[in-house]
């Protein structure tokens, strides 16, 4: 029994529903976690997903900005949404899948604040918000089962934590998304889980890996100044089930693309729990 989970910041699900359909048909994930759907719940294009067999859908929408959703071919038993920083932003949703091979799996989908341009919380309220969001996530990790049992955390975390998650470590140390203030907080959350970084499980830390390329570079492919802002983390119990990952860079080159590529992980849930990785 294979489970393929994908995370994709779609930057308007209504505008790019054609690209989403193409991805679902060609890449066949079982569960697709979307960020920046940029619509209210009632405006989400349910029918387009249902006709492709994705009948189980959880939405935390918002007018114009942000918004996250999870669409699934597999039954969803429970949906939860958590608010952070008391701002009313739609930046989290989680689902409990019906047990697969006896395993109940929880998937958390996050859209962490981008944080604006100036990496100083004293003068940039957006960066202060990002840091506060990370502090609340750290607290939640401590007091909940977030990383326990069979859990998957995905999303646009808007942070590239490792040196080779950005095209130039040195140049980006002062650029929001790669500053020590953020990367240290994210690393603490990651270690506290503890989580397994699915992408880095297969791509060594000394090799470049990106999931996002700015719209502001017309030659994004040749210049390749990317960042790894999107992540798939697995709880320890699921780490031994991980069989492959993919950063589907091709979609960044499709017509009128999102600036993020979809990232996927495939788990083999029929594998023994005792398998070493």
Residues making contact with DNA (CB under 7 A): 11-12, 14-15, 38-39, 63-66, 113-114, 116, 126, 158, 214-216, 218, 256
What separation in angstroms does the CA of 206 have from each of 188, 194, 228?
21, 22, 14
- Torsion, CA 130, CA 136, CA 137, CA 141, rounded to 10: 160
Q: Which is nearer to DNA, 56 or 66 (CB)?
A: 66
Q: Which is nearer to DNA, 47 or 276 (CB)?
A: 47
Least gap, CB of 226 to DNA (angstroms): 14
Q: Which is nearer to DNA, 1 or 15 (CB)?
A: 15
Least gap, CB of 15 to DNA (angstroms): 4
Least gap, CB of 83 to DNA (angstroms): 15
Task: Kindly report the length of the chain.
Answer: 277
Going by C-alpha positions, the residue among 265, 236, 249, 242 that lies closest to residue 4 is 265
Least gap, CB of 60 to DNA (angstroms): 15
> How many whole angstroms separate alpha carbon 253 and alpha carbon 273?
39
Q: Which is nearer to DNA, 3 or 39 (CB)?
A: 39
Tell me the three state secondary structure of residue 240. Answer: coil
Residue 98 CA to its chain's centroid (Å): 21
């Amino acid at each position: 029994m294979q489970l393929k989970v994908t995370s994709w910041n779609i930057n308007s699900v209504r505008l790019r529903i054609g690209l989403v359909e193409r991805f679902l048909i060609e890449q066949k994930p079982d569960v697709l976690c979307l960020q920046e759907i940029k619509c209210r719940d009632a405006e989400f294009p349910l029918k387009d997903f249902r006709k492709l067999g994705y009948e189980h859908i959880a939405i935390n929408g918002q007018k114009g900005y942000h918004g996250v959703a999870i669409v699934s071919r597999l039954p969803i038993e429970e949906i939860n949404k958590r608010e952070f920083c008391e701002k009313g932003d739609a930046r989290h949703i989680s689902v409990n899948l019906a047990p697969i091979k006896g395993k109940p799996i929880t998937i958390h989908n996050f859209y962490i604040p981008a944080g604006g341009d100036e990496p100083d919380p004293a003068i940039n309220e957006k960066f202060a918000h990002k840091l506060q969001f990370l502090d609340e996530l750290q607290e939640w990790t401590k007091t909940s089962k977030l990383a326990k049992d069979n859990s998957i955390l995905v999303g646009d975390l808007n942070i590239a934590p490792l040196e080779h998650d950005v095209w130039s470590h040195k140049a980006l140390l002062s650029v929001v998304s790669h500053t020590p203030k953020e990367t240290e907080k994210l690393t603490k959350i990651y270690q506290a889980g503890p989580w397994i970084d699915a992408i880095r499980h297969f791509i060594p830390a000394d090799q470049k890996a990106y999931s996002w390329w700015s719209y502001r570079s017309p030659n994004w492919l040749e210049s390749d100044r990317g960042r790894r802002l999107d992540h798939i983390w697995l709880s320890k119990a699921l780490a031994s089930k991980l069989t492959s990952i993919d950063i589907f860079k091709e979609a960044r080159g499709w017509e009128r693309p999102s600036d993020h590529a979809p990232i996927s992980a495939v788990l083999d849930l029929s594998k023994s729990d005792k398998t070493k990785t």
